[in-house]
A and B are shown apart, each in its own frame.
Chain A
């Protein structure tokens, strides 16, 4: 059952990544692009976790943790730069 569910879920996440990339390239304003980047890193994190289940390896978990930390920081910094025009004051 899982050998059927894992490739299907991987394909659905790949489709989600394509939709996010489309919004990232098209997005009319800068907040849309930041939102698309935020969704892109969350979806790629889930894709890494799925690959870790599939290959039965815990090495992908550290990559997912790093992506979640750096993605949050980059989203907050980008949004703050848009709102204030400055990162540190």
Chain B
């Protein structure tokens, strides 16, 4: 389908969705490249980039639905999968980073600061258990 055969509102909506998605993905990647610590760097890709790719997938679904061959829902499948798996992979990466450097683990709430080191070691040992 050429761009001329599309209605005006579909053209505008597709352009807005694609540009919005690209902006979100670019902002997430700039956050990944520019922020200072690993645990702050993780915010950009896991939230902004996922939202941007979701916008692009919705735009693709609209585009292939506008061809007159029925509604195209495949892209929403990928979007659902990404939105479900992004928090899981972020959680796994944060756990790996915490295991590699246990000094970044915050102290447990409601304890005195003098017990913090022993709590760290017991917590680290607890993480090793299956």
Do residues B93 and A31 form an inter-chain contact, with CB atoms below 8 A?
A: yes
A76 to B57, alpha carbons, bound, how many Å? 23
B57 — which chain A residues lie within 8 A by C-beta?
46, 49
- Count of A-B residue pairs with CB < 8 Å: 159
Closest to A22 in B: B33
Closest beta carbon of chain A to B86's beta carbon, Å: 8
A30 to B92, alpha carbons, bound, how many Å? 13
Do residues B89 and A79 form an inter-chain contact, with CB atoms below 8 A?
A: yes
A36 — which chain B residues lie within 8 A by C-beta?
32
Closest beta carbon of chain A to B48's beta carbon, Å: 10
Q: A38-B45, A76-B89 are in contact. Are A29 and B53 (CB under 8 A)?
A: no
B38 — which chain A residues lie within 8 A by C-beta?
29, 31-32, 35
- Cβ proximity bits A22-56 to B, threshold 8 Å, 1 near / 0 not: 11000001111011101100110110011011001
Q: A9-B22, A53-B63, A72-B89 are in contact. Are A83 and B49 (CB under 8 A)?
A: no
Do residues A23 and B33 form an inter-chain contact, with CB atoms below 8 A?
A: yes
Do residues A49 and B56 form an inter-chain contact, with CB atoms below 8 A?
A: yes
Question: Which chain A residues have a beta carbon within 8 Å of chain B's beta carbons?
Answer: 1-6, 8-9, 12-13, 15-17, 19-20, 22-23, 29-32, 34-36, 38-39, 42-43, 45-46, 49-50, 52-53, 56, 58, 61, 64-65, 68-69, 72, 75-76, 79-80, 82-84, 89
Question: Which chain B residues have a beta carbon within 8 Å of chain A's beta carbons?
Answer: 1, 3, 6, 11-12, 14-15, 18-19, 21-23, 25-26, 28-30, 32-33, 38, 41-42, 45, 49-50, 52-53, 56-57, 59-60, 63-64, 74-75, 77-78, 81-82, 85-86, 88-89, 92-93, 95-97, 99-101, 130
